[in-house]
Amino acid sequence: MREFYEFDEERYQKKGNVWMFIAIALVFTLLGGILMYAVFPYLTNPDDKLADNTGSIRAESDETTNSDASPLPVVGYQGDLFIEGENPVVQIAEKVGPAVVGITTTVEVLVPDFFFNQRTQEYEGTGSGIVISDKGHIVTNYHVVEGAKKLFVILQGGEKIEAELIGADPQSDVAVIKVDRTDLTVAKLGNSDEVRQGEFAVAIGNPLGHELAGTVNFGVISAVDRTLQLDGKTLKLLQTDAAINEGNSGGALVNMKGEVIGMNTIKLVGSRVEGLGFAIPSNVFIPIAQELIKKGKVEVPEQPWIGVVNPLEITEEISKEYNYPVGILVREVYPESPADISGILPGDVITAFEGVETPTMAILKENIGKHKVGDIVEVTIYRASNKKEFTLKLKLADMSKIDIQR
């Protein structure tokens, strides 16, 4: 009997412990529910609950931010910051996109026919531009409008307007054109000196022509101070991995506040290259654009030129196939140009300029650009008719004075 009694007492004590544990758990559950009810709104939407305590401080901060004007007030959107929300790229596309326009150019060049007779032929080029004033001024790259006989601007939606060239600075690759409109969306211009490596960036432009107008690409600022050579010019550029393609030149590189911090200019291409795009910083192109607008006329400096039209690069593959040296094939010589006067003929191959080999047009242009109009230079020529290489001297002329461009 005792053993049975002791067994029942032990069982009773265990049962009491269980009920005590359940009671304690219920008390803690009730307290936790009350606490979550009080704190949960702060966790889900802290801004709403903190507005009463910090609203005045935040308003003062917004006022300070909105007072930041464009570093150069003559051009650029002058209103408040207008990008906010969880996904700024959507608003950038909607609000900044209309300030990026397409540009169409018509260029006349001399081309040879089958018998090397010269004829004029028109070519159409495309690029992008950024609206920078409410007077219709648009900034773009000089290489977009170089040699253009006609200029047209394509607005968002497809409207086509004739434009005029206001000014150009080939050395910095900046040009300003203008349309007779005062109702265009004007871009807000940012301070590129404040751009930091790793920041998000959006590229807007017309890659591969107007069929893909207004394309928006997202990336980061890969570097803030890159130095590159372009046609013999040294440029300081922003680097980005946001996709930039042919036709994007002159388009906008935008930060997450909707400010234009750069003008898309160059993309490196090659089998081993990906995501290497470059833009002229806003603090570089804005003062140049303002100066061009102020002058109100086209300022094109002298451009040394030898007079070779529509040349063709002879690569190593072509060289092996046709038994020609690597160099620049002369397909046409402009009448009374330095090349014509010195005796260079269609069919000749330029193999060196001032003793420097010229396997590509970029290298030839770069070396010509190191000289001034009127300089006497030496050009090494290979002539297929007698299979001989020789050197000619010629006096560089000013290509800017030639009506029909190369």
Q: Which residues are catalytic?
A: 143, 173, 249
CB-CB contact of 147 with 405 (8 Å): yes
The token pair that represents 401 in the structure block? 């004075």
Burial of 354 per CB tally in 10 Å (0-12, 13-18, 19+): middle
CB proximity list for 124: less than 8 A, separation 6 or greater: 104, 105, 106, 107
Q: Report the candidate in 329, 372, 377, 373 with the shortest Cα–Cα distance to residue 356.
A: 377
CB proximity list for 199: less than 8 A, separation 6 or greater: 220, 221, 255, 256
Q: Report the candidate in 81, 177, 69, 199 with the shortest Cα–Cα distance to residue 129.
A: 177
Backbone phi, then psi, for 21, in 5-degree steps? -60, -40
CB proximity list for 373: less than 8 A, separation 6 or greater: 302, 303, 304, 396, 397, 398
DSSP-based three-state secondary structure for 277: strand
Q: How far apart are CA 314 and CA 381, in angstroms?
A: 13
